[in-house]
């Protein structure tokens, strides 16, 4: 770590739980963020500001005027650009050190597996159940920790599925693929702008703790947030032996 990095990351180095070793772990890590919208923007911003070595960003959308109410990496001047390119410009201005790799397409199957394989932590910042289940299956198959967030209307949720552990819960243990057929998203139901910032920032926090070697506070817990009342509700989650993805009959 050179003098410039010691200064840039000084506030992390002061933390006993992170220190030089933890910051070096962050700086040598690779993080996959799927989604460059409301959740992905704050998550990616904090990951890059904290100095992750490599950030891989995946999204197949372009910046639209309606995004700017909440997707804080994008600007009016970049309307029409691919979201990953718009985000890359903002992130490099924030911290030029991390390598930022962009994929302007929707990924599933072998393409997604290849990106998950190379990641130390995966963040699901998408807004549809189909993609969430693709990401979850890839993380289960490759035993990668997954930080999953969601936000709609005034309601948000976040969970960590540390699939490096044999007894870990996966996303499908809680939300079976057959139960998630409704195409609910921000475009159809709306979303309170700061909500995505709250959940996305928490996704970054959990990811950075995992990278630094700290325990994830939400491993095995689903945290739900109501922005109307500003109340949090946490529930313990357990592995479903009959899970279609990680259950004993399916692995």
Cα(202)–Cα(210) distance, integer angstroms: 12
* CA neighbours closer than 13 Å in the CB half-sphere of residue 245: 25
3-state secondary structure of 79: coil
Note if 243 is an active site residue.
no
Q: Rg (Cα) of the chain, in Å, rounded?
A: 17
The owner of tokens 């070793």 is: 21
3-state secondary structure of 228: coil
Selected catalytic residue, list 139, 170, 186, 243: 186
- 100: which residues sit within 8 A by CB, 6+ positions away? 48, 54, 55, 57, 88, 91, 92
Cα(152)–Cα(226) distance, integer angstroms: 10
Show which residues are catalytic: 186
């Amino acid at each position: 770590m050179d003098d410039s990095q010691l200064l840039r990351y000084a506030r992390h180095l002061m933390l006993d739980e992170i220190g030089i070793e933890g910051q070096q772990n962050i700086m040598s890590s690779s993080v996959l963020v799927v989604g460059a919208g409301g959740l992905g923007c704050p998550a990616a911003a904090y990951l890059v500001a904290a100095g992750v070595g490599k950030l891989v960003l995946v999204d197949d959308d372009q910046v639209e005027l309606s995004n700017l109410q909440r997707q804080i990496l994008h600007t009016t001047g970049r309307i029409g650009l691919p979201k990953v390119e718009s985000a890359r410009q903002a992130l490099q201005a924030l911290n030029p050190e991390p390598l930022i790799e962009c994929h302007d397409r929707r990924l599933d199957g072998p393409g997604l597996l290849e990106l998950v394989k190379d990641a130390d932590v995966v963040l699901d910042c998408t807004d549809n159940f189909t993609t969430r289940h693709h990401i979850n299956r890839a993380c289960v198959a490759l035993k990668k920790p997954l930080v999953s967030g969601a936000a709609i209307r005034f309601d948000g949720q976040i969970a960590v599925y540390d699939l490096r552990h044999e007894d870990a819960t996966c996303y499908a243990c809680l939300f079976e693929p057959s139960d998630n057929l409704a195409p609910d998203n921000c475009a159809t139901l709306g979303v309170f702008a700061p909500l995505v910032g709250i959940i996305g920032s928490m996704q970054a926090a959990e990811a950075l703790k995992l990278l630094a070697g700290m325990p994830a506070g939400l491993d095995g817990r689903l945290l739900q947030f109501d922005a109307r009342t500003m109340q949090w509700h946490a529930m313990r989650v357990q592995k479903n032996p009959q899970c279609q993805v990680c259950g004993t009959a399916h692995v």
